Amino acid sequence: MIKLVTTTVTHKGEFGLTILAIIAAGASVNFFIFGSAGIVPFSTYRDFILFPSIAIIVIIGIYGAVKSKRLANRLITGLWIGATATLALEAIRIPGYAVLHWLPGDDMIMMPGMFLTGMAPTLMDLMNMMMSNQAMQPQPSVMISGILYHFWNGATMGAIYTLIMGKGRWYYGIIWGFIINIGMMLAPWLVMMMGPFGIKYLNGYNIFTIALGAHLAYGLVIGILVQRFVKEKGSLIMLLRQRRGSEKDDYS
């Protein structure tokens, strides 16, 4: 009976912490969405949502390493794989703006850096600065903040994938990269600045083409590495079923 109760508590705790970790990991990408849509100011989101979410992820990772090895494996593995996969994304994104000029500058570094440091309090402020060419020569603090955010965002998107899908099949990562790209193409900041899918920039297909290639490369690396380094199969749905099954056993 003691063994049965212990198993039930473990399943309940793992499922709840998994959900909390997914929510905390999603705070990174929502920084852009909520801020550019005017739902929460960038500075407020940074101080009261983004930074605390990082602390939550760290705490869950430490707790999981002691109490829930499966949760820790998925979370920590997802983070480092997501950050690594961001290098694959950069291998396409950087030539996309620096060589082909199919992207409007180093926006994925410059934009979050401007928002995080407060140099551009709102999306409208950033657009005005870009029109006056002020945002094209950012300070080192802007670039450092932007780089850290960019790779942390890549890391958290990797963690969301592993927390939801577990080991998964390698091609699930490609699907994940495609989903992320579609979300980005319809994000408020892109729609306001360049239109949905970037149709207002150059020939209309340039932003979408580079972004799609970059995110598919990101997803491919995630899919391959996750299948190699996540130890157990199973998904978030599996955890939910285990929890329900444990609850039934506990009451029987």
Long-range contacts of 88-97 (CB under 8 A, 24+ apart): 88/217, 88/218, 88/220, 88/221, 89/154, 89/214, 89/215, 89/217, 89/218, 90/214, 91/217, 92/210, 92/213, 92/214, 92/217, 93/210, 93/211, 93/214, 96/210, 96/213, 96/214, 97/210
Question: Percentage of the chain surpassing pLDDT 70?
Answer: 90
Residue 4 has pLDDT above 90, yes or no: no
Per residue in 6-57, pLDDT tens? 333 445 689 999 999 999 999 999 999 999 989 999 999 999 999 999 999 9
Per residue in 185-232, pLDDT tens? 999 999 999 999 999 999 999 999 999 999 999 999 999 999 999 998
pLDDT at 7: 39
Q: Where are the domains of the chain?
A: 2-251
User: How much is the average pLDDT of 98-117?
Assistant: 93
pLDDT at 27: 97
Would you say how long the chain is, in residues? 252
Q: pLDDT confidence of 75, banded at 50, 70, 90? A: very high
